[in-house]
A and B are shown apart, each in its own frame.
Chain A
Amino acid sequence: ETGVTQTPRHLVMGMTNKKSLKCEQHLGHNAMYWYKQSAKKPLELMFVYSLEERVENNSVPSRFSPECPNSSHLFLHLHTLQPEDSALYLCASSHSLAGDYNEQFFGPGTRLTVL
């Protein structure tokens, strides 16, 4: 595997389910990000991790819970979601924090549908 991978690519879940999205980067990067991409809206940054520590949390509802066990893996745990949470969830990584102006490399995303 190369670059940034995400699993699953598609996920359909009910509002009472608990699921997790997985992201893995094979680039040796130190920073990882979760973004939400909804229809007709700009990409929204959700979480930023640098060296496994969370450095940014953009007022994301607690029904989204990130986890970064090491610098190569990032999870987004989901529980009691709402239909408006349906979106494409993108993971990205960069050599260091974007504040150092390093470009971010994105995965293909997980298309989430909440019924």
Chain B
Amino acid sequence: AQKVTQAQTEISVVEKEDVTLDCVYETRDTTYYLFWYKQPPSGELVFLIRRNSFDEQNEISGRYSWNFQKSTSSFNFTITASQVVDSAVYFCALIMGGSEKLVFGKGTKLTVNP
């Protein structure tokens, strides 16, 4: 069975702090993709990143960075110098090769206070 666990239900930080959102996944497949989505209060999920199981390189995009470690089945997301606009619910998701089913974690609600 496939499963995504986001152990942090809610996180609250002060603006300019760095924050890391944890994601741990379970799958027996060797081919899979991992995603992060952001859901602001407006409701729609915004795609942030996709990473395949064969590429363990970390990625940085502006203030966002992702750390993929197959050895610990983790795909953590770090926001550097957080801003109020980063306040949202963040979802980690997993899909296996050949499947149409994107499996989501329960999400982490991030609140960045001014």
Q: How far apart sit A101 and B45, CA to CA, in the bound complex (Å)?
A: 17
Q: What are the residues of chain A within 8 A of B107 when measuring CB–CB?
A: 42
Task: Pick from A42, A48, A50, A97: contact of B105, CB below 8 A.
Answer: A42
B98 contacts A108, C-beta separation under 8 Å: no
Does chain A have a CB within 8 A of B61? Answer: no
Chain B 37-55 per-residue mask, 1 if CB under 8 angstroms from chain A, else 0: 1000011111100101000
Does chain A have a CB within 8 A of B30? Answer: no
Q: How far apart sit A41 and B52, CA to CA, in the bound complex (Å)?
A: 25
A45 contacts B33, C-beta separation under 8 Å: no
Residue of A nearest to B49 (CB): A103
A56 contacts B33, C-beta separation under 8 Å: no
Q: What are the residues of chain B within 8 A of A58 when measuring CB–CB?
A: 101
Q: How far apart sit A57 and B101, CA to CA, in the bound complex (Å)?
A: 10
Q: What are the residues of chain B within 8 A of A45 when measuring CB–CB?
A: 100-102
Task: Pick from B4, B50, B91: contact of A101, CB below 8 A.
Answer: B50
Residue of B nearest to A111 (CB): B43
Residue of A nearest to B99 (CB): A99
A107 contacts B100, C-beta separation under 8 Å: no
Contacts known (A42-B104, A43-B91); A98 close to B99, Cβ less than 8 A: yes
Q: What are the residues of chain B within 8 A of A55 when measuring CB–CB?
A: 100
B47 contacts A103, C-beta separation under 8 Å: yes
Residue of B nearest to A92 (CB): B45
Which A30-58 residues have a C-beta within 8 angstroms of B?
31, 40-43, 45, 48, 50, 55-56, 58
Which B1-50 residues have a C-beta within 8 angstroms of A?
4, 33, 35, 37, 42-47, 50
Seen from chain B, the residues whose Cβ lies within 8 Å of a Cβ on chain A are 4, 33, 35, 37, 42-47, 50, 52, 91, 95, 97-107
Extra A-B contacts (14), CB below 8 Å, given A48-B100, A101-B52, A103-B47: A41-B106, A42-B104, A56-B101, A88-B43, A97-B100, A98-B99, A98-B101, A99-B95, A99-B97, A99-B99, A101-B33, A103-B50, A105-B47, A106-B46
